[in-house]
Amino acid sequence: MGVKGFVEGGIASIIAGCSTHPLDLIKVRMQLQGENNAPKPVHNLRPALAFQSGSNVHVATIPQARVGPIGVGVRLVQQEGLAALFSGVSATVLRQTLYSTTRMGLYDILKTKWTDPASGTMHLGRKIEAGLIAGAIGAAVGNPADVAMVRMQADGRLPPAERRNYKSVVDAILRMARQEGVTSLWRGSSLTVNRAMLVTASQLASYDQFKEMILQRGVMRDGLGTHVTASFAAGFVAAVASNPVDVIKTRVMNMKVEPGSPPPYAGALDCALKTVRAEGPMALYKGFVPTISRQGPFTVVLFVTLEQVRKLLKDF
C-alpha cells in the first residue's frame, strides 16, 4: 500500500511537472517583474545643445512596464530561444521526484489510515490535515531542487555578466553548496513548507472532496469527465491559496547575496513588506494568470494521470 502510493504519485507528478514547465517558468518571470526596479537618477549628462559648459541634466530612468504572460513568453522566446521555455526542466524532474512523490505517497498513507471503514469516506477536516502534514514533509525533502529550479528559470532575465549559468540541477546544487554554503540549499524553506502545506491541503483535499460530491450527487459517473472537473476546481483553489506565498518564495530563493553585503531581504516577512511597500498589495498576486493557467492544467494532468496509473498498477 505505502510504496505503491509513492510510485503512483511520483509518476503522475513528473509527467504533470514536465508538461506544464513552460507555464511555470513564465509565472516565475512574472513574479520577479518590478523587483529592484526603482528609478535611478543619472547625473552629469551634458545636453546635446548646451551653451554653458557647466550645464548638467538630471535624468531618471523609466521603470520597465509590466508585461502579461503572453508578452513574457514571446519576449523570452525572442531573446533566449524556444529551448528557453524548458530552462530548469531537470530541476523540475528532481523536484517532482523528491517533493511530489513524498507528499503524494504520505497523503495516500494518511488517507488510507484515516478513512472511515464503514462509509469509505474521510471528513474534509481530516483530508486537509493529511494534506498539511504531507506537504510540509515533502517540501522539506525537495527544497534544494526547488531553489535550483527557481534560479535556473530566472537566470535568463539577468544581464549576461550576472547570470549563474548552471549546467544542470546537479551543477546548481553543488555550486550553491560550495559557494554559498549547504544551508543555501534550504533558503526560503519556511516559505516552501508553508506553500506546500497550502497547495497540498487545498489541491489534494479539494480534489477528493469535489470528486466525492460529483459522484454522490450523481452529476457524472466515475470517469474522465469527473476527474477533469474535480481536478480543475482543485487547481483553482490551490492557486488562490498559494500565490502570495509563492511570490515571496520565488524572490527570496532568487536573491543574490554578495560577499560582505547584507542580503536584499532579511527573511520572508521582510520580503513581503518590501514588496507591498514598493509595488502595492496586489504584487502578491503577480503571476496569478500563469499560476492558474499552469495550476489548472498541472492539476488536471496530475490527477487524470494518477487515476490511469492506479488502474494500470491495480493488480500489483
Show me where the domains of the chain are located.
Answer: 188-285
Contacts 24+ apart (CB under 8 A), 208-217: 208/111, 208/122, 208/127, 209/124, 209/127, 210/234, 212/121
- Residues in CB range of 11: below 8 A, 6 or more apart: 305, 309
Is the pLDDT at 220 greater than 90, yes or no?
yes
- Residues in CB range of 151: below 8 A, 6 or more apart: 88, 164, 166, 172, 253, 254
Coil, strand or helix: which one is 257? coil
Minimum mean pLDDT range among 44-58, 206-220, 289-303 = 44-58
What confidence tens digit (pLDDT) does each residue in 144-168 have?
998 998 898 888 888 888 899 998 9
Is the pLDDT at 244 greater than 70, yes or no?
yes
Region 278-289 average pLDDT: 89
| CB contact at 8 A, 105 and 165 | no
